[in-house]
Amino acid sequence: MRIFLTRPDSDIPAAPPPLGAMSLAAYIRQFRDDEIKIYDARSRMTTPEKTAAEAQAFGAEVVGISSFSMEAPQTFDLAREVKKVLPKAKVFVGGPLPSSDPDYALSEPAIDAAFLAEGEQSFLSALNSLEETGEVAPAYGIAIRENGGVIGKGRPGLIEDLNSLPIPAWDLVDLEYYFGKPNKRPMMNRLQRDKHGASIFTTRGCPYQCTYCHNIFGKIARKQTPERVIEELKMLYHQYGVRELEILDDIFNLDVERAKRIFDLMEREGLHFHITFPNGLRAELMDEELIDKFKRNGVYWMTFAIESGSPRIQKEIRKNLKLEKAKRNIELAAKKGINVNGFFMMGFLGETEADIMQTIDFAASSRLIIASFFILTPYPNTEIYRQAEAAGHIMSGDFYDYHNVSVNLSEVPTQRLWQLKRLAYRKFYLNPRRIWYILKANPFKIGLLDGIWMLFKMVFWGKEILKKKRMDND
């Protein structure tokens, strides 16, 4: 069977190698002898028509599309274009979009099946069913249409032993393309220090109960052993020449001793990377010993998802972050020369202007180098979405823009919410000390003009605008 794995182009400004597709391909190859092609339409900024033409040229029998919730319009466009040129091909969609709302994913007739949560086992099941019967059978983790409705929406069992999963199929992507001049930056970090970059996951799942999160990997944290992590890192370092590393785990430091062991082994093996954590570390779980190991082994940028500076809101959203300890660890990391980025949200259910000002004050008084402020988007099948419905809010279904207000759940008028977001950016960035921190954090002035323009837009308009430039790449 010929399987074409892709993701749509969208306004997401970064496009690292598609680890989801690479992990899926590696897993399938353990059990089946299929021809698999990975085509990264997001990085190449290709239109749905061009991507569909690539699938047609490959002779795809199955097209798998990975999609974030905010990419639903682009995903639907791509699915329709694929069906135009490959009417007999099966079109599958996986990722956060179907995991959070399979009914919505399957509202697009061009999509034949939606895959929920971890897709390896269910995708293999679908391929086997398709080969045996010509159709995809409903199963846990596979949602399909039947008799005018959607069936099979139960989540699949979690893969408990992550060591049992093969190393992602790095051989199916052209790393030299990502090392060169791809159309979108190849890492989440704007200040990438070495062009030979790659991303990895070492854990899945998060045990915390944050009401706004639809964690597709579940609430049970699972992890690779330090030795398994080092096996993949040695391959990337020696076989592919990778020198910059992004660790994309939700909470890499959930097991602090494991995190320390990984960095000890990296040091012992002589693996010299520039390292960033763009997605998040649990701020209050850091300690000085771990920060020292980070610094000694090349970590220069990490992210803390603070979300709110209000102790009341921390409890309401069940994040329960220890704010003072988080601020101390930001200070400690900064003193040791590690740049720290912070994520914040406003517009939570019942949030007041006083709560939001606590968030702004937390960010402005911290040693963070970069702060990003977002207005909450309540995604389907999250606890905060259910709370909002119960409180009588009408959910718009517009989940496609992190910078848009799909529904205002707070006690603050929407216009004032936008004003507070702009105030947050001004108070954080229009500070001589902050400007000095940023210049000091970027000694090589990498992407400086682009960064200044982006900050100007956020400070004065309250949002980042990606100037969209699609390319045919003939």
Q: What average pLDDT does this structure show over 381-406?
A: 76
Q: What average pLDDT does this structure show over 367-388?
A: 91
**Is residue 160 predicted with pLDDT exceeding 50?**
yes
Q: What is the pLDDT of residues 194-213, one digit of tens each?
A: 999 999 999 999 999 999 99
CATH of the domain at 21: 3.40.50.280
285 and 405 together in one domain: yes
Residue range of the domain that includes 34? 2-151
Half-sphere exposure of 70 (CA within 13 A, CB side): 14
Q: What per-residue confidence (pLDDT) applies to 253? A: 97
140 and 228 together in one domain: no
101 and 213 together in one domain: no
Q: What per-residue confidence (pLDDT) applies to 395? A: 67
Q: What average pLDDT does this structure show over 132-149?
A: 91
CATH of the domain at 200: 3.80.30.20
Instruction: With respect to residue 42, please indicate whether it lies within any of the assigned structural domains.
Output: yes
Kindly state the tokens that stand for 409. Answer: 């759940």
Q: What per-residue confidence (pLDDT) applies to 438? A: 84
**Is residue 255 predicted with pLDDT exceeding 90?**
yes
* Residue that is last in its domain, among 151, 176, 198: 151
Q: What per-residue confidence (pLDDT) applies to 400? A: 57
Q: What is the pLDDT of residues 411-448, one digit of tens each?
A: 999 999 999 999 999 999 999 989 888 887 765 555 55
Those residues whose C-beta lies under 8 Å from the C-beta of residue 238, and which sit 6 or more positions away, are none
201 and 276 together in one domain: yes
**Is residue 398 predicted with pLDDT exceeding 70?**
no
Q: What per-residue confidence (pLDDT) applies to 296? A: 98
Question: Left, alpha or beta for 471 (phi > 0: left; psi -120 to 50: alpha)?
Answer: beta
Q: What average pLDDT does this structure show over 372-383?
A: 89
**Is residue 141 predicted with pLDDT exceeding 50?**
yes
198 and 121 together in one domain: no
199 and 340 together in one domain: yes
Instruction: With respect to residue 158, please indicate whether it lies within any of the assigned structural domains.
Output: no
Q: What per-residue confidence (pLDDT) applies to 453? A: 64
Report how far residue 402's alpha carbon sits from residue 388's, in angstroms, rounded to the nearest whole number.
Answer: 18
Instruction: With respect to residue 160, please indicate whether it lies within any of the assigned structural domains.
Output: no
Which of 49, 97, 96 has its CA nearest to residue 73?
Answer: 97
Instruction: With respect to residue 466, please indicate whether it lies within any of the assigned structural domains.
Output: no
Q: What is the pLDDT of residues 59-105, one digit of tens each?
A: 999 999 999 988 999 999 999 999 999 999 999 999 999 998 899 99
Q: What per-residue confidence (pLDDT) applies to 466? A: 36
Q: What per-residue confidence (pLDDT) applies to 473? A: 39
- How many other β-carbons are positioned within 10 Å of the β-carbon of residue 2? 15
103 and 217 together in one domain: no
Q: What average pLDDT does this structure show over 446-466?
A: 57
pTM of the entire structure?
0.90
Instruction: With respect to residue 93, please indicate whether it lies within any of the assigned structural domains.
Output: yes
Burial tier of 450 (Cβ tally within 10 Å: 0-12, 13-18, 19+): exposed
**Is residue 467 predicted with pLDDT exceeding 50?**
no
Question: Lowest-confidence range among 34-38, 290-294, 451-455?
Answer: 451-455
Q: What is the pLDDT of residues 363-373, one digit of tens each?
A: 999 999 999 99
- Estimate to the nearest angstrom the gap between the alpha carbon of 135 and the chain centroid: 31
224 and 362 together in one domain: yes
Instruction: Kindly state the percentage of the chain with pLDDT values over 90.
Output: 75
Question: Left, alpha or beta for 460 (phi > 0: left; psi -120 to 50: alpha)?
Answer: alpha
Q: What average pLDDT does this structure show over 337-348?
A: 96
110 and 209 together in one domain: no
Residue 147, amino acid: N
Domain total for the chain?
2
Instruction: With respect to residue 180, please indicate whether it lies within any of the assigned structural domains.
Output: no
Burial tier of 42 (Cβ tally within 10 Å: 0-12, 13-18, 19+): buried
**DSSP for 367-413, written as a single string:** --SEEEEEE----TTSHHHHHHHHTTPPP----S-TTS-S---SSS-
Q: What per-residue confidence (pLDDT) applies to 323? A: 98
Q: What is the pLDDT of residues 105-123, one digit of tens each?
A: 999 999 999 999 999 999 9
145 and 204 together in one domain: no
pLDDT tier, 471 (very low <50, low <70, confident <90, very high otherwise)? very low
**Is residue 336 predicted with pLDDT exceeding 80?**
yes
Instruction: Kindly state the percentage of the chain with pLDDT values over 70.
Output: 91
Question: Lowest-confidence range among 95-104, 184-193, 295-304, 339-348?
Answer: 184-193
397 and 316 together in one domain: yes
146 and 196 together in one domain: no
**Is residue 463 predicted with pLDDT exceeding 70?**
no
**Is residue 459 predicted with pLDDT exceeding 70?**
no
Instruction: With respect to residue 119, please indicate whether it lies within any of the assigned structural domains.
Output: yes
Instruction: With respect to residue 468, please indicate whether it lies within any of the assigned structural domains.
Output: no
Q: What average pLDDT does this structure show over 314-335?
A: 97
Instruction: State how beta strands 197-200 and 244-247 pair.
Output: parallel
